[in-house]
Structure 1
Amino acid sequence: MTRVERIRSALEAALAPQSLDVVDDSARHAGHAGARDGRGHFNVDIVSDAFAGMSPIARHRAVYAALGEMMTTDIHALAIRARTPAEAQA
């Protein structure tokens, strides 16, 4: 399973998103100090009811928690756009 597939699977299991887009941006950061150890750069756009009533920081923490150990073993940088379905439609 690729890193993108593992990220997608972990987020789907934990947050039941209505919409989820995961992009591996690692190639754009080749040679970057954080990429030298093999960890990657990713962008996540996630829409889930689970974010209702959460602050932006709490939403990011929920994503980090869902990814668990991957945050230290596979992911160097993670850009997150986390919205509720109502926010996504606005």
Structure 2
Amino acid sequence: MMVREQIEAKLRAAFDPVFLEVVDESYRHNVPAGSESHFKVVLVSDRFTGERFLNRHRFIYGALSEELAGSVHALALHTYTNKEWASLQDTVFASPPCRGAGSIA
């Protein structure tokens, strides 16, 4: 199973999301081709109701502890309740460009 698929499966099981998108953004960074190390996660769940963003992120880090201890180097987390997601009109902010120096050949 690909790392992206593992992340998605664990987040679905842990959060019963209304919306979940896991995007492998490794190609935007200075990593060898085929690396699965940088991800953007958009997760909408009622489990986040009443929780600060820091706690939401901690919940995700806990669910993905194995991946974070392994090949996953970075997660861009966008976590919302259903109400917050509705007010954004399903808009997700783009990830910033990689700030790493040099390139991998």
Answer whether TM exceeds 0.5 for this pair: yes
In structure 1, what is the equivalent of residue 5 of structure 2? Answer: 5
Cα RMSD (Å) of the superposition? Answer: 1.4
Matched, 1:81 2:78: yes
- What is the TM-score normalised by the length of structure 1? 0.88
Q: Which runs of 5+ in 2 are unaligned?
A: 88-105
Matched to 1:77, the amino acid is A
In the alignment, the residues of structure 1 paired with residue 71 and residue 13 of structure 2 have an alpha-carbon distance, to the nearest angstrom, of: 18
Q: Percent identity?
A: 41
Residues 17-57 of structure 1 deviation map (CA, whole Å, 9 limit, x = unaligned): 110000001111124xxx7xx56000000000010110010
In the alignment, the residues of structure 2 paired with residue 74 and residue 10 of structure 1 have an alpha-carbon distance, to the nearest angstrom, of: 16
In the alignment, the residues of structure 2 paired with residue 66 and residue 87 of structure 1 have an alpha-carbon distance, to the nearest angstrom, of: 22
User: How many correspondences in the alignment?
Assistant: 85
| Other structure's SS at 2:51 match | coil
8 Å contact 1:39–1:73 — kept in the other structure? Answer: no
More strand as a share of residues: 1
Moved over 4 A (4+): none
In structure 2, what is the equivalent of residue 58 of structure 1? Answer: 55
- What is the TM-score normalised by the length of structure 2? 0.76
Residues 61-85 of structure 1 deviation map (CA, whole Å, 9 limit, x = unaligned): 0111111211110210000000000
8 Å contact 1:47–1:84 — kept in the other structure? Answer: yes
In the alignment, the residues of structure 2 paired with residue 81 and residue 6 of structure 1 have an alpha-carbon distance, to the nearest angstrom, of: 18
In the alignment, the residues of structure 2 paired with residue 6 and residue 39 of structure 1 have an alpha-carbon distance, to the nearest angstrom, of: 11
Please tell me whether Structure 1 or Structure 2 has the larger radius of gyration of its CA atoms: 2
More helix as a share of residues: 1
